[in-house]
Amino acid sequence: MRFLLMRSILIHPCGGSIINARSTTTSAQYVASRSRDPVFEKLMDKYKNLLKVIAIQDLILANPTADPPSLSIDFLSRLSQKLHLNRGAASFLRKYPHIFHVLYDPVKAEPFCRLTDVALEISRQEALAITATLSLVVDRLVRLLSMSISKSIPLRAVFKVWRELGLPDDFEDSVISKNPHLFKLSDGHEPNTHILELVQEEDKRLEFEAAVEKWRVVECSKEDCCVERTELQFSFKHSYPPGMRLSKTFKAKVKEWQRLPYVGPYEDMAGKKKNRSGVMGIEKRAVAIAHEFLSLTVEKMVEVEKISHFRKCFGIDLNIRDLFLDHPGMFYMSTKGKRHTVFLREAYERGRLIDPNPVYDARRKLLDLVLLGRHAALSESGSTSMCEQE
C-alpha cells in the first residue's frame, strides 16, 4: 500500500499543517515525522530497560558453575557497551534490587550478582508456561516454515526470534529433534550453517488458517456488521493513532486496497506471483506474511531487524521497515531504545495484549519488577496497577 502514503495527504492535528507523506521525505525522516501513538511509545519506554534486564538474566542463568547461578560484575562490566548499560553494570544492577542481588565474594575478592528469589520464580514460571504449551510452540514453528517458499529457513534466523516465538532455550533438542516427522536439519551452503526444513508428505500436506482469516469470520458473523462480504473477503483490521486525521483520498485508497485480491501467507506461490493483481498483489501478500508473523509471536511484537532475516525465505522483495511504515493502520513501529520495534496494532488495547497467554503473563511480572525500580515491594495487585499507570 506504499502508494497510499506516497500520494495521500495526511493532516496533522497540530495547527492543521499538512504533510505530503513519503513523496518528499526519506524513510528516516518519515519515522521522525509520522503520527506517534502515545500508548505504544509508553509501552516501549518500559520495555527499553526490561530488554537489558532480560539480557543480564540470561547471562546469569547460563552460568552452570554456580549454584544458585551468579555472574562476576567484572565480566558484566566488560559487556556494558554491548548491553547499553550507559552508567556501568554495577549502577544498572542496583537500580533493580527486586531482580538482582549484588554481593561480594571474599574468596575471589570480587563483587558478583545473582537473581533474587522473586526473579528466579518468574523465570521458572515462564519456563513452565513454555513447557506446558509445547504443542503450540511446535505449531508456530511449523507455520513459520509453511510461509517459506521453500518450506525451509536458516536455523540462525530462528535463533534470532526464539524468544519472540516462545521457544524453549533448548528448542533444537526439545522441539526439533523430538519431532522428526515434522522437522529436519540439513547442512547449508555456507560453512557452519544449518537449514531447518519442514517434512511434508504429499498426501498429508498441512493447511493453515491465517489469523486475519479468523478475524474475518468473526466480523462477518456479527449482527451489526456493516461491511459487505465481498469487501471483507480480502480485508485487514485497521485502526490509527489517536489524533491522526486522514484525508478522503487516503480513506478511498485504503478501501480500494482492502478489496485487492492477493496470495495468502500459507498459499503456494508457484505460478501465482505474476498473475494476481501485479505489484500491489505482491505487496499485499508481504503485508499478510508480516501480519501472520506478528500473530505467531508471544507478545505480538518483534524487532524489525529480526524479521528482516526472513525476507528471502518468504519471497519478500520489499523493504520491511517501509512496509510497516506504509501501513500505520495495522502496524506501529517504535524507535525507542535505539531499536526499531513493530507492534501488531489490533492485538493491543491500552498497552496490554487483548488475548494474553501464560508466557506473556510471566514476562509482564518481570516488567512489573522493572517498574518498581528501587521502590519498596508492593502486593501483586499493587505492582500490576503501577505497571498500568506508568
In what helix (H) or strand (E) does residue 102 lie, and over which residues does it extend? strand 100-105
Please tell me the predicted confidence (pLDDT) of residue 377: 53
Please tell me the predicted confidence (pLDDT) of residue 22: 46
Please tell me the predicted confidence (pLDDT) of residue 150: 92
Please tell me the predicted confidence (pLDDT) of residue 20: 36
The per-residue b/e assignment along 249-267, b for 16 or more CB within 10 angstroms, e otherwise, is ebeebbeebbebebbbbbb
CB atoms inside a 10 Å sphere around CB 378: 15
| Identity at 292, one-letter amino acid code | E
Please tell me the predicted confidence (pLDDT) of residue 24: 47
Low-confidence ranges of the chain (pLDDT < 50): 2-25, 273, 275, 378-390
Cα separation, 315 vs 144, in Å, equals: 13
Say whether 390 sits in a helix, a strand or coil.
Answer: coil
- Using CA atoms, how far residue 8 sits from 12, 283, 370, in Å, is 13, 18, 41
CB atoms inside a 10 Å sphere around CB 63: 16
Return the HEC string of 202-215.
HHHCCCCCCHHHHH
- In degrees, rounded to 5, the angle at the alpha carbon of residue 192 between the alpha carbons of residues 190 and 198 is 80
Of the candidates 305, 248, 334, which has an alpha carbon nearest to the alpha carbon of residue 31? 334
> What is the pTM assigned to this prediction?
0.85
The domain locations on the chain are: 39-115, 128-375
CA 231 distance to own-chain centroid: 28
Cell of 145: 516454515
In what helix (H) or strand (E) does residue 9 lie, and over which residues does it extend? strand 9-11
Please tell me the predicted confidence (pLDDT) of residue 224: 65
**Which residues does 348 contact at the CB level (< 8 Å), separation at least 6?**
39, 40, 43, 300, 354
Please tell me the predicted confidence (pLDDT) of residue 228: 64
Dihedral class, residue 278 (left if φ above 0, else alpha if ψ from -120 to 50, else beta): left
**Which residues does 149 contact at the CB level (< 8 Å), separation at least 6?**
269, 313, 314, 315
Please tell me the predicted confidence (pLDDT) of residue 124: 95
Please tell me the predicted confidence (pLDDT) of residue 120: 95
Please tell me the predicted confidence (pLDDT) of residue 323: 92
